[in-house]
Amino acid sequence: MTASLALGRNVKSLRGRDLISIADLSSEELQFIIQTALDFKRRFYAGERIIPVLRGKTLLMIFQKPSTRTRISFEQAMVQLGGYVISLGWKEMQLGRGETIADTARVLSRYVDGVVARVYNHGDLVELAKYAAIPVINALSDKEHPCQIIGDMLTILEKKGRLAGLTIAFVGDGGDNVLHSLLLASAKLGINIKIGTAEGYDPDPEIMKLAMEDANRTGASIEVLRSPEDAVKGADVVYTDVWVSMGQEAEREKRIKDLSRFRVTPELMSLAKSDAIFMHCLPAHRGMEVTDEVIDGPQSVVWDQAENRLHAQKAILALLL
């Protein structure tokens, strides 16, 4: 499907900026990054595997939690942009022995051109960005996963040919980090969002407030519903994520019990539009938040979604670094 975003072309430069939250971006800037990701993907498939706009630049990646897609797509993105990557676990650095985030940030700024970090506490990323003189990019925190959602918007644009006016249903944990970024991005892009979740699992109120402000401007609607069926009815996209995120293992039993009604099954999918797509940021807990029939079924776009992380990371890195 041919797709492109008319807007976002007036954005001058994002160089030097951090990407801690989708809320850091204006609607135009978000569209500009998505359009740039689409351009990188098209050029890749046209045979330009290496576009060396970051030659001579080094990216440091710090991981406090496991990662497959984010780590590998960022590393490969740097390779395809002609740059270099250093990837370390939090505990391999003096951070693990208590060196402050502020001191670490000051030192890193003397060595590398940007930092990508995956952390437990969102506040640690905010602290890193505060003291770093180089761009800091959120590779997932307990609160948000902005890079995931930039890739996901590319996927939705490719599959549906547009973004504004679509309806996304998110079914599962309403307090999920991926959902928070999805909510903020949808509101900025004029996409309606219906969240089906259990009582006690609503989105972070601060995220809701920010999203509502943007939604009022773009005309997007935001609904939090207690019925998964009501949430998916008429949706263009059905999205879910795990019920137990990294760091929430102690609440595992309770979360599984509380959210068990919010599983994406073929019956649930049948209530969405007939051409609805199914999305999941992965890793999936098959049989828990989604059944095999759905994730392996004809409506699932999860592998394209995973691939698009690569093209989205190239856009993010090329524009910020």
- Say which residue the tokens 């601060």 belong to: 206
Q: Which of 122, 145, 255, 311 is catalytic?
A: 145
Known catalytic residue at 24:
no
Percentages (nearest 5) of helix, strand, coil residues in the chain: 45, 15, 40
Known catalytic residue at 118:
yes
Q: Quick one: 90 or 131, whose CB is closer to ligand CP?
A: 90
Q: Provide, rounded to whole angstroms, the least separation between the CB of residue 64 and ligand NVA.
A: 12
Q: Provide, rounded to whole angstroms, the least separation between the CB of residue 73 and ligand CP.
A: 8
Q: Which parts of this chain interact with ligand NVA (CB under 6 A)? A: 140, 176-178, 241-242, 245-246, 281
Known catalytic residue at 147:
no
Do residues 65 and 120 lie in contact, with contact meaning Cβ atoms separated by under 8 Å?
yes
Known catalytic residue at 248:
no
**Residue whose C-alpha is closest to residue 36's, from 63, 57, 5:** 5
Q: Which of 35, 281, 305, 313 is catalytic?
A: 281
Q: Provide, rounded to whole angstroms, the least separation between the CB of residue 140 and ligand NVA.
A: 6
Q: Is 193 helix (H, G, I), strand (E, B) or coil?
A: strand
Q: Quick one: 104 or 245, whose CB is closer to ligand CP?
A: 245
Q: Which does 242 bind (CB under 5 to 8 A by kind): ligand CP, ligand NVA, none?
A: ligand NVA
70 binds ligand CP (CB under 6 A): yes
Q: Quick one: 18 or 176, whose CB is closer to ligand NVA?
A: 176
240 binds ligand CP (CB under 6 A): no
CA distance linking residue 152 with residue 158, whole number of Å: 10
Q: Which of 21, 67, 186, 308 binds ligand CP (CB under 6 A)?
A: 67
Q: Which of 255, 280, 309, 311 is catalytic?
A: 309
CA distance linking residue 230 with residue 169, whole number of Å: 9
| Helix (H), strand (E) at residue 309 | helix 302-320
CA distance linking residue 48 with residue 187, whole number of Å: 34
| Helix (H), strand (E) at residue 238 | strand 237-240
- Peptide bond just before 283 cis, omega within 30 deg: yes
The span of 16-24, 67-75, 77-85, 285-293 binding ligand CP (CB under 6 A) equals 67-75
Q: Quick one: 58 or 248, whose CB is closer to ligand NVA?
A: 248
Q: Give the x/- contact pattern for ligand CP in 122-161, rule: CB under 6 A.
A: ------------------x-------x-------------
Which residues, 276 to 295, sit near ligand CP by CB under 6 A? 281-283
Q: Residues with Cβ < 8 Å from 299, sequence gap 6 or more?
A: 238, 269, 276, 277, 278
Class of residue 162 by CB neighbours under 10 A (exposed 0-12, middle 13-18, buried 19+): middle
Q: Which does 241 bind (CB under 5 to 8 A by kind): ligand CP, ligand NVA, none?
A: ligand NVA
Q: Which does 245 bind (CB under 5 to 8 A by kind): ligand CP, ligand NVA, none?
A: ligand NVA
Q: Is 183 helix (H, G, I), strand (E, B) or coil?
A: helix
Do residues 149 and 22 lie in contact, with contact meaning Cβ atoms separated by under 8 Å?
yes
**Residue whose C-alpha is closest to residue 246's, from 280, 278, 283:** 283
311 binds ligand CP (CB under 6 A): no
**Active centre residues (catalytic):** 118, 145, 148, 241, 281, 309
